[in-house]
Amino acid sequence: MATRLVSLLCLALGFQQASAATYSRTSSREGTDFLSAFEWQAIDDPTHGRVRYVDQASALNQNLTFASGNHFILRSDYTNKLDPNGAGRDSVRIQSLHQYTTATLIFNIRHMPQGCGTWPAVWTVGANWPNQGEVDILEGVNDQGPNTATLHTSSGCTMPASRSQTGNALQNDCNVAVNSNAGCGVRFTDSRSYGPTFNANGGGWYAMERRNTGIKVWFWSRNDGSVPAEVRNGATTINTSNWGTPVAFFPDTSCDIASKFGPHKIVINLTFCGDFAGAVYGQSGCPSTCNDFVNNNPSAFMDAYFDFEWLRVYQ
Ligand SMILES: *[C@@H]1O[C@H](CO)[C@@H](O)[C@H](O)[C@H]1NC(C)=O
Ligand SMILES: *[C@@H]1O[C@H](CO)[C@@H](O)[C@H](O)[C@H]1NC(C)=O
Ligand SMILES: *[C@@H]1O[C@H](CO)[C@@H](O)[C@H](O)[C@H]1NC(C)=O
């Protein structure tokens, strides 16, 4: 009798754990909060971009970082022509001090970088890459929308061909060694999810839920009537079960999320050209060559900025 009760209880608890998707807000960043929650990484771009990442003091000094009220702005330089033999365009790469495992992140973004040659990204990554995985939430190049959300892992993490998502899978093997680190990407169908069209519509909300049973990414454009009120308001508690079908769903069917993904930091960066934007520049309808364009047309980068209204974390 007692044994039966215990196993029944375990069953009930197990079921609850698998289906519970209700979380409490554990952090909320707005305006100047970002300055103490992230570090500015003045490092070389591992993806060979035409960029020079600056530290926080320089970023504030050059107004490449600006925080006030509910605006947190990250931008690249848009006034200087560059010496083709010198450093790349000044820009920023920030990384959160906190790290997260199973958490849900909501980014309320008014504006994202646009312009030929730009390669902006909002993503999360473990210290030991690729063994602790990478989740690209918002990423693209040369103003070419819509967005693509992608996982990058060590070998042994693949996605089922059929799953409950509104986006279109590009490749189902997340292994970085396959197809030059393409990862298992899911392309969105909503053109408002990226670049100039995202900006023209006032931006919107990106959310990423990471659980050991799967990773989900949602996007709602600013005036999308289907945005849940708790997302729009960044409420103190959320229930992701009510958010509808995600744009991208990466289930644990043949990917052990718990072992393929370690503790992650949030990274927000803006680079130019390099391994991705540079490689596909010719097919983007952009003028000249990528590096020449970035070197010689500073004013083309006036709109190469992120404006975050807030970032909220739920656990
Ligand atoms: C910038 O973001 C992309 C996002 O996926 C990443 O591949 C690239 O390495 C990043 N650059 C730096 C310097 O972190
Ligand atoms: C810095 O950037 C912000 C946001 O774009 C702008 O409102 C402000 O006027 C700029 N400050 C200076 C000194 O240019
Ligand atoms: C979360 O939403 C689901 C689906 O509507 C519901 O079944 C569940 O009871 C909700 N959880 C809580 C704690 O409200």
> What are the extents of the domains in the chain?
22-314
Closest residue by Cα to atom 11, ligand 2, is 63
Closest residue by Cα to atom 9, ligand 3, is 20
Tokens of 252: 């644990």
pLDDT of residue 305: 98
Q: How far apart are CA 209 and CA 207, in angstroms?
A: 7
pLDDT of residue 182: 96
209 a catalytic residue: no
pLDDT of residue 11: 45
Threshold 0.75, pTM exceeds: yes
Among all chains, which residue has been given the structure tokens 């508690």? 237
Q: How far apart are CA 267 and CA 38, in angstroms?
A: 9
Q: Which of 30, 139, 209, 309 is catalytic?
A: 139
Tell me whether residue 108 is exposed, middle or buried, using C-beta atoms within 10 angstroms of its C-beta: 0 to 12, 13 to 18, 19 or more.
buried
* Segments of the chain scoring below 50 in pLDDT: 1-18
Q: What angle do CA 54, 36, 152 make, to 5 degrees?
A: 65
| Architecture field, domain 22-314 | Sandwich (2.60)
pLDDT of residue 19: 53
Tokens of 168: 């279109």
For residue 13, give the amino acid letter: L
* 21 Cα: distance to centroid of ligand 2 (angstroms): 40
Q: How far apart are CA 17 and CA 157, in angstroms?
A: 23
pLDDT of residue 20: 66
Helix or strand (DSSP H, E) at 138 = strand 134-139
* 71 Cα: distance to centroid of ligand 2 (angstroms): 11
Q: Which residue among 241, 242, 243 has the greatest number of ligand 3 atoms within 8 angstroms of its CB, and so is best to mutate? A: 241
Among all chains, which residue has been given the structure tokens 């702005």? 73
- DSSP annotation of 287: S
pLDDT of residue 142: 97
